Structure 1
Amino acid sequence: MPPSLPGLATSGGRHRKPKEMSPSVRRAIVVAATAPVAATMLSAPSAFATDAVSQDRAHRNVSLPSEDAGERGDKPAFVKSVRPGAHTTGPGSVNRGIADALDARIDDPRLGTDLSGVVIDAASDEVIWDHDAATALMPASNTKLATATAALTVLGPGHRLTTEVVYADGTLTLVGGGDRTLTTEDLGVLADAAAAGLENAGLTTVEVRVDDSLFPEPALATGWNAGYYPNEIAPVRSLVVDGRAVQDTALDAGEVFAGLLADRGVTVGGDVTRGAAGEGAVLVAEHRSEALSTIVKHMLKVSDNNIAESLLRTTALGAGRTATFEDGTAVVRDVLSGTYGVSLENFEMYDGSGLSRATRIPARTLADILDLTTDPRHRGVLRHVSDGLPVAGEAGGTLGPEWGRFDTPDSQCAVGEVRGKTGTLTGAIALSGITQGKDGRWKVFSFVENGSTASNDDIKDALDGLAASVNGCNT
Structure 2
Amino acid sequence: MSSASTAGGRHRKPKSVSPAVRRTLIVAAAAPVAGALFTAPSAFAADQLTPTEQRISDNLDTRVVDERIGSTFSGVVLDAESDTVIWSHDAQTALMPASNTKLATATAALTVLGPDHRFTTKVVYDNGTLTIIGGGDRTLTTDDIAALAKDAAAGLRSAGLNTVKVRIDDSLFPEPELAPGWTQNYYDDQVAPVRALSLNGSLNTDTGIEAGEAFARQLSEQGITVEGGVTRGQAGPGTVPVAEHASEALSSVVKQMLKKSDNSIAEALLRATALGSGRPATFDGGVEAVRTVLSERYGVSMDNFVIRDGSGLSRDNRIPAQTIADILDNVTEPANRDVLRSIDEGLPVAGEAGSTLGPEWGRFDTADSKCAVGEVKAKTGTLTGAAALSGLTKGEDGRWRVFAFVDNDSPAAAADVKDALDGLAATVNGCWA
Same fold (TM over 0.5): yes
**Corresponding residue for residue 403 of structure 1:** 361
Instruction: Provide the C-alpha distance between the structure 1 equivalents of 2:336 and 2:422, rounded to a whole number of angstroms.
Output: 28
CA contact (8 A) 2:75 2:90 kept: yes
> Could you tell me which of 234, 250, 265 is aligned with 1:292?
250
**For residues 203-214 of structure 1, what are the structure 2 equivalents within 5 Å?**
203-214=161-172
> Percent identity of the aligned residues?
64
Among 161, 177, 181, the alignment partner of 2:139 is 181
412, 424, 428: which is aligned to 1:454?
412
Distance 2:117 2:13 in 1: 27
Counterpart code for 2:366? T
2:60 & 2:233 partners in 1: Cα distance?
56
What pairs with 1:160-175 in structure 2 (closer than 5 Å)? 160-175=118-133
Q: CA deviation at 1:166?
A: 0.5
For residues 412 and 81 of structure 1, do their structure 2 counterparts lie closer, same or farther at Cα, with a shift above 3 Å needed? farther
Q: Is the 8 A contact 2:133 2:168 kept in 1?
A: yes
| Counterpart residue identity of residue 378, structure 1 | N
User: 1:234 & 1:393 partners in 2: Cα distance?
Assistant: 28
CA apart distance, 1:350: 0.6
Distance apart, 1:219 and its partner CA: 3.1
Alignment-derived partner of residue 234 in structure 1: 192
Work out whether 1:332 is the aligned partner of 2:330.
no
* Structure 1 position 412 matched with structure 2 position 370: yes
Residue of structure 2 equivalent to 1:106: 64
Give the superposition deviation at 1:79. 6.8
The separation in 2 between residues aligned to 1:359 and 1:171, in whole angstroms, is 43
Q: Which amino acid aligns with 2:236?
A: G
Give a deviation string over 1:95-130, Cα, whole Å, max 9, x none.
111110100011110001100000001111111111
Match of 1:132, as an amino acid? D
TM-score when normalising by structure 1: 0.82
Aligned to 1:40: none
Q: Which runs of 5+ in 1 are unaligned?
A: 1-11, 20-74, 83-89
Q: Any conservation in 1 of the 2:97–2:317 contact (CA below 8 Å)?
A: yes
Deviations 1:364-404 (A, max 9, x none): 00000000011111111111111100000111111111110
The one-letter code of the counterpart of 1:358 is: D
Q: Residue type matched to 1:382 in 2?
A: L
TM-aligned CA deviation for residue 359 of structure 1 = 0.6
Matches within 5 A, 1:325-364: 325-364=283-322
> Does residue 256 of the first structure (1) align with residue 256 of the second (2)?
no
Name the amino acid aligned to 1:17. Answer: K
Alignment partner, residue 3 of structure 2? none
Contact 1:190/1:287, CA 8 A, preserved across alignment: yes
- Asked if structure 2 preserves the Cα contact closer than 8 Å seen for 1:367 and 1:446, the reply is yes
Change (3 A) 1:14 1:324: closer
Q: How does 1:96-175 map to 2 (within 5 A)?
A: 96-175=54-133
Consecutive unaligned residues in structure 2, runs of 5 or more: 1-9, 18-33, 42-47
Preserved contact between residue 49 and residue 86 of structure 2 (Cα < 8 Å): no
Equivalent residue number for residue 275 of structure 1: 233
CA RMSD across the alignment: 1.9
Query: Cα deviations across residues 245-270 of structure 1 (Å, max 9, x unaligned)?
Result: 21000000000000110111111111
**Residue equivalent to 1:425:** 383
Q: Deviations over 1:350-371 (max 9, x none)?
A: 1110000111111000000000
| Map 1:19-34 → 2, pairs under 5 A | none
Instruction: Tell me, yes or no, if the aligned pair for 1:13 and 1:125 is still in contact at 8 Å.
Output: no
> Are residues 1:318 and 2:316 paired?
no
- By relative contact order (CA 8 Å, sep 6+), the higher-ranking structure is 1
**CA-to-aligned-CA distance 1:323-356 (integer Å, 9 cap, x gap):** 1110001000000001111001000011110000
- Deviations for 1:413-459, whole angstroms, at most 9, x for unmatched residues? 11110000000000000000000123211110000000011111000
Q: How many residues align?
A: 401
Among candidates 175, 193, 203, match of residue 217 of structure 1: 175
**Equivalent position SS for 1:364:** helix
TM-score (norm 2): 0.90
Equivalent residues of 2:77, 2:85 under 8 A apart: yes
For the 8 Å contact 2:133–2:197, the answer to whether it is kept is yes
Displacement, 1:163? 0.1
1:14–1:125 contact (8 Å) kept in structure 2: no
- SS of 1:110's partner is coil
Aligned to 1:61: none
Distance 1:413 1:117 in 2: 21
